[in-house]
Structure 1
């Protein structure tokens, strides 16, 4: 197959690596892959070493005439089978560029909610009439999209972002003494940017229920943790002296690897949190809620725990269990790494993309 990808990969390594690995994986499978993106020199070199052709280009806005013309020129000069676009800026530009060409247009969806038939802007992205297929990050996202699209519901599929266990084995644990966390502490980490849907208030309520555990520490990583209502909850917490705010950090994997358990207390709106996948690769057990796609990749009671939303009691119960059962922590570490090596591997993801693309072409 000949595949044209329009993506944004000029971001932190953790953000774009699984996506970029998919494109390189398709090239390693023998497909001809071209990526139009704004990438740093290191990423361009990695693409090229994997046999991926790179074109410099990124849309300045949702309808960027320059980008549309550039893509149309590429499509007119090459016989592509697939165009794949990945975000709210690349999708509408790819959609308009593909008008008049027989190429199949596939787009990516990574979140639940916010997609409505009565919203005109939806017809620039997922509901664009030129779109032939949608790849979703989880089944939760897939079902949400299938309720919204007018046709081709069977062409809305789930393909999990693939990860490489080697990425995480090379990560060195952070030194948590930076936050005055004693070396032998049992550290619970929560890595999100605080907003209502992320459930930080629920996590802080759970921390109150765990205050009797003397060497338990809570590390909150992300923006806005120091703002109301979270600042008030922390100030009034029984654990206030053992709650540590880091703000935004570039070394989240290192912090997660140094922690005992990652808690994702979200109450709504999750596709498949990157922090959960990274924690699994790093061998850090997770406690997550039933919202979104996290429950699809975490095997409950084997590689982590899945608890109801808005239940600080359930979160506290599972954290307490792990605190008292280090052998279970070790077992979950092993199971998580096995999951990343197998079902959630980058190689498996590339194969799934290739199979899906072929199916679209054959269904023409």
Structure 2
């Protein structure tokens, strides 16, 4: 069979997402480039929307309000009626719920994406209109930890069949991370300081209270500065904790930033002290891509991403003493710091590359439709 006829035989895919990030956008483009017929319905306010338009991938703009969005469901149904699709791939619960209703009565395969642990239960009615719906053919988990969590859900005889679950890492490319490191002096960080960076939302499960405590526990001779990137600046409890710390002048809040990866690139260490429910955190991947040594907690998919003592350090969650010891170790051993940073960068390049995501996602579509 010729290459052209092989490409025509590949399944047609309708991808439903919101304001898709760079890895998601490049996955869609990569699938198109290897011959898949891919259309995308997504939020026109997303920063990658125009790139998808230029690649001819956007079927129509769509911003779903909730899981019961009638207008959005009608738009999906109209798109399904306009063309013969083999697979719908829904990248969030809203898209999944609306896609299942829009495709009712068809034999289209429905693929779901899951990027985080938790919030799915056989006792939760909303789970039955999304991930537990019997018409969901596959759930793509972004980490083995998420796959294991879903496989472990039980209620009497109810469970998710093993064959419905698959793990595909979200891929990246070092070429995406070329921004110049940010000047941290604008946040009050002294020139030449040893900098620990952390990026994330203002959420208790991010564990910032443990990280601030860890910085306070550092011995007097270890002068490390902490830069907290994101809306944690609005958390008054954290600010009060900082004010009571041993060296409040060494802890800096940046607020929300669009250049968070470049801030991480200017740092010596990146820490994500999450206490629960992490998937495969983009902030950690971005820091690793810049060659910044990561310290993460043994939560969710993070130990799959950061191999302890090989491409970073992994510590127990909710343990500020262990976090402090890890930071001190890298402060005192700059050779180890450099070694872990380089290994972290190589790990993203070799084991989390976007080409691998394209290949594995394409294989999944072909296995569901028996088209190759």
Which residue is equivalent to 1:136?
141
Aligned to 1:166: 175
Cα distance between partner residues in 2 of 1:194 and 1:276? 16
1:5 to 11, 15, 29: 15
CA gap of 1:19–1:42, structure 2 versus 1, over 3 A, is closer
2: CA distance between counterparts of 1:323 and 1:252? 22
**Of residues 258, 268, 271 in structure 1, which corresponds to 2:266?**
258
**Aligned pair in 2 of structure 1 residues 143, 184: CA closer, same or farther (>3 Å)?**
same
Among 166, 173, 180, the residue aligned to 1:157: 166
1:184 aligns with 2:189: no
Contact preservation (8 Å) 1:9, 1:20? no
Superposition deviation, residue 213 in structure 1 = 3.4
User: TM-score w.r.t. structure 1 length?
Assistant: 0.92
Matched, 1:281 2:274: no
Counterpart in the other structure of 1:77: 82
Is residue 351 of structure 1 aligned with residue 356 of structure 2? no
SS in 1 for 2:241: helix
Aligned equivalents of 2:351 and 2:73: distance in 1? 36
Equivalent residues of 1:36, 1:57 under 8 A apart? yes
- Residues 1:64 and 2:69 aligned together: yes
Structure 2 partner of 1:125:
130
Shift of 1:253: 0.8
Q: Does 1:106 align with 2:111?
A: yes
C-alpha deviation, 1:333, in angstroms: 2.2
- Return the alpha-carbon distance in structure 1 between the equivalents of residues 181 and 271 of structure 2: 18
Q: Distance in 2 between matches of 1:193 and 1:46?
A: 27
Aligned residues: 357
Do residues 35 (structure 1) and 40 (structure 2) align?
Answer: yes
| SS of structure 2 residue aligned to 1:229 | helix
CA distance in 2, matches of 1:49, 1:229: 45
> Which secondary structure does the structure 2 equivalent of 1:218 belong to?
strand
Gaps of 5+ in 2: 1-10
How far 1:356 moved relative to its partner? 1.5
CA RMSD of aligned residues (A): 1.9
Q: CA deviation at 1:48?
A: 4.5
Unaligned runs of at least 5 residues, structure 1 = 11-15
User: Who is 1:13 aligned against?
Assistant: none
